[in-house]
Amino acid sequence: MTNVQLAMKSNHRITWGFVRGSLLLLVGIATMPGTIAADVQPLQVGAAAPKFELPGVDGMTYTLEDFADAKVLMVVFTCNHCPTAQAYEDRIKQMHKEYAKRSVAIVAISPNDDQAVRLDELGYTDLGDSLEDMKLRAKSAGFKFPYLYDGKTQKASKEFGVLATPHVYIFGPKRRLQYVGRIDDNEIGPPKRHDAKIAVDEILAGKPVTIPETRVFGCSTKWSDKRESAKKAIAKWNEEKAELQVVTPEQLKGRLTAKGKKYRLVNVWATWCVPCIEELDDLVEINRMYRKRPFELITISADALRAKDRALETLNEKHCSATNLILDAESRDELFDSVDPKWKGAVPYTVLIDPDGKVVHRIHGEFEPLELKREIVERLGRTYAAQR
C-alpha cells in the first residue's frame, strides 16, 4: 500500500501524504477506511490526458477533444466552497486572460459530489458545489473559461487522481502530462514562485518543465462515499435543543450594541407570522454554515411573554439551537427601540450587526437566502487571509 493510500485511510482532521516524493497536506475532512479516496492516485507525469465528457455551466457538454487545437491544456480542479479554491479564482482568471491568445486552453472542473459536503464546510462561501450553484458562481465571478461538473459520477476526477482543490494538471501538444501540482506557492499573499505559469511558458517554448511536480494544498475532494457523513451531521445537529431566554429591553439593547468579536445576525419573528416560520429553516442552515466562524445567530420572538412556550416549541420543531430571546416588555415600542431605532415595526425583520455593535445591513420583510449569505460571507471573508 502506498503512502497516499495509508494517509487517506487516516481518521485525523489533517491528512498528510506523498505524491512521488512531494509532501502533500490536505486540510479539511477526515476520510473513513475503505473509502474511494484511499484508491485515488494522482496522474503520473508523462501519462496521457484522461478522456472526459462533462456538463458545463453554460449548458454545453465538453470533452477532451474540444480542446484539441490548443498547444497547451491546463485542467484546474477547483470548486465553489473551498476557501483555498476561492483564493485562486482571480489568478486562474488572470492566467486565462494572459494565455488565451497563446494557444493555451484552461478548463476548470469541480470534482466534488455536492451532496457529500457538510453544511459546516460552507463557512467561507454563499454557495454549495452543485451544478446550479456553479452556474451562479461562474456568473458572479465572471469566469470566461469552461467550468465543468464531475460531481455526479466523479469518473474523470478519479482518473486524474484529484486530491484537493485546487489541483492543476498541464498537458503539452501531445496531451501528455508535463506538470501536476499547485498554481503557485502562496494562497494568501504575493507568491514567490508562479509554478503553473512557469510550466506553461516552458511548454510553449518547447522546453522540458523544470519542476514537473509540486505540493498541493487545499480542501480534500468530496467523494460520494462521504454523503453518509453529511447526513449524520444533520441528524446530530437536529438533536440540539433550543432554549428561549427572557430578557428586558435594557438587556436586549445591551446585548445587541455591545462590542465583541463576532458578527450578529438578528432576526425578529413571531409564531403568528407565517413568513417568519418559513424563514427559520433558512436561518438554521445559515447558522450551521457560519457558526464556527466569528458569527452568531440571535432570534428574537415578537410574541407576548405569555406565548413563550409556543415560541419555544416552534424553535425546537425547527431545530433552531441559536441564541433565542423573548422580551419581557410592556409595549412593542420597547422591542423596536431595543433592536433597531430604524425598524418600522413589521415582521420579519433582520439586521446584521458588526463586532462594534453597529447595524451594517437591514432587511425589512422577508430575506432572500442567497443574498443574505453573500452579505455575511463578504464580511467574514471567503479565504484564510481573512483570519490574519
pLDDT at residue 36, as a whole number: 57
Task: Give the Cα separation of 372 and 265 in Å (integer).
Answer: 10
CB-CB neighbours of 318 under 10 Å: 18
Report the candidate in 161, 135, 126, 152 with the shortest Cα–Cα distance to residue 17. 161
Tens digit of each residue's pLDDT (9 = 90 or more) over 142-156:
999 999 999 999 999
Please determine, for residue 367, whether its predicted confidence score (pLDDT) is greater than 60: yes
C-alpha cell of residue 226: 462521504
- Contacts of 151-154 with CB under 8 Å at 24 or more apart are 151/110, 151/111, 151/112, 151/113, 151/114, 152/113, 154/36, 154/111, 154/113, 154/223, 154/224
Domains and CATH numbers, the chain: 3-227 (3.40.30.10), 240-387 (3.40.30.10)
Please determine, for residue 302, whether its predicted confidence score (pLDDT) is greater than 90: yes
pLDDT at residue 330, as a whole number: 87
Least confident of 17-26, 30-39, 341-350: 17-26
Mean pLDDT taken over the chain: 91
Tens digit of each residue's pLDDT (9 = 90 or more) over 245-277:
999 999 999 999 999 999 999 999 999 999 999
> Could you tell me which residues come within 8 angstroms of residue 57 by beta carbon, excluding any fewer than 6 positions away?
131, 134, 135, 138, 139, 143, 146, 147, 148, 149
Task: Give the Cα separation of 258 and 256 in Å (integer).
Answer: 6
* Run of H or E residues at 266: strand 263-269
CB-CB neighbours of 358 under 10 Å: 10
pLDDT bracket for residue 29 (50, 70, 90):
very low
Cα dihedral sign, 304-310-313-317: negative
Question: In one letter, which amino acid is 195?
Answer: D
Average pLDDT, stretch 285-291?
A: 98
Cα dihedral sign, 156-162-165-168: negative
Percent of the chain with pLDDT over 90: 86
Please determine, for residue 135, whether its predicted confidence score (pLDDT) is greater than 60: yes
Please determine, for residue 167, whether its predicted confidence score (pLDDT) is greater than 90: yes
Higher pLDDT, 297 or 330: 297
